[in-house]
Structure 1
Amino acid sequence: MPISANEQRAIQLGFYRMRGFPRVIGAIDCSYIRIQSPNSDIGEQFRNKKGYFSINVQAVCSSDIVITNLVARQWAGSVHDSTIFDTSMLRAQFENKEFGACVLLGDGGYPCLSYLLTPLLNPRSESEKRYQKLSRILS
């Protein structure tokens, strides 16, 4: 993750130039990495919602699609994205305000927090509709 103020500003500027979204220093999501079933005792834990065996890997990328943070432990495919984030060092860093007023942009698999923006369920105002459009494009 970008630690220095200069690195953070550069990434924020990239997201702002891309879609006019301020303060964003990363887009976060998880992805399934296909594996063979580990064994009969624990194999079903690794079956994801798409029906195949996998591990779940969390990544954050910058505005120029450079991975800036990766959590690639042996998280079973059945583990929810928010569980991985909740136990990550990244969440602790944001909770400790190590990234100041910067935010991440995530999809509906994550909780909406002051530092993690996710899509709205029912956008009503014009500003909410614009936010929804921008957040879906970036996540």
Structure 2
Amino acid sequence: MGQSTAANVIRECLNIFEDHFCQKWVNFRRNIDEENAVKEYFFEKYGIPGVIGCVDGTHVRIKSPGSDNHHLYLNRKGFYSLNVMAICDHNMVITFVDARHPGANHDLFVWNVSHAEQELKSDYNNGKTNTWLLGDSLAAILDDAIQKRSR
């Protein structure tokens, strides 16, 4: 099978997965009981209140796109990638993935344009201020950005 045929088959399979499986299994929104269970776990185990999950980004290596836009995929580490952000709950179940962005994009950009950021910002603006995601050093930047954008 040629590379272009394989790429088309993979693309079609991924579209089917996204349409039929991802909405059921990868779901950032939890009902109140599920959210409280996650918050309770993090509080009992680590003493941190309000945590609904953990967020991090990673660079997934890809071949050079070979197009005029290949520079968009060249990350700061010197290889071509997608900058993928994922959120998981206390059981390491992935609840959110954003794999839309070329590797040259900064983690903060990926966060700022994500549906997760929009949902959490909306919740915060509607008075739900006791909900947090744990992350690496980006967490302080995110917290500051959320505070500034909600003003």
Identity score, percent: 31
Hey, what's the Cα distance between the residues in 2 that align with 1:49 and 1:31? 12
Cα pair 2:87 2:95 within 8 Å, conserved: yes
Hey, what's the Cα distance between the residues in 1 that align with 2:45 and 2:82? 31
Of Structure 1 and Structure 2, which has the larger fraction of its residues in helix?
2
Gap runs ≥5 in structure 2: 1-27, 147-151
Partner of 2:69: 42
Partner of 1:54: 81
Partner of 1:83: 109
**What SS class does the counterpart of residue 116 from structure 2 fall into?**
helix
Structure with greater Cα Rg: 2
**1:108 Cα deviation (Å)?**
2.1
| Alignment TM-score, normalising by the size of structure 2 | 0.68
Q: Structure 1's 65 and 57: CA in aligned 2 closer, same or farther, altered over 3 A? A: same
Hey, what's the Cα distance between the residues in 1 that align with 2:145 and 2:95? 16
Does 1:109 pair with 2:114?
Answer: no
Hey, what's the Cα distance between the residues in 1 that align with 2:29 and 2:67? 42
Q: 44, 49, 52: which is aligned to 1:17? A: 44
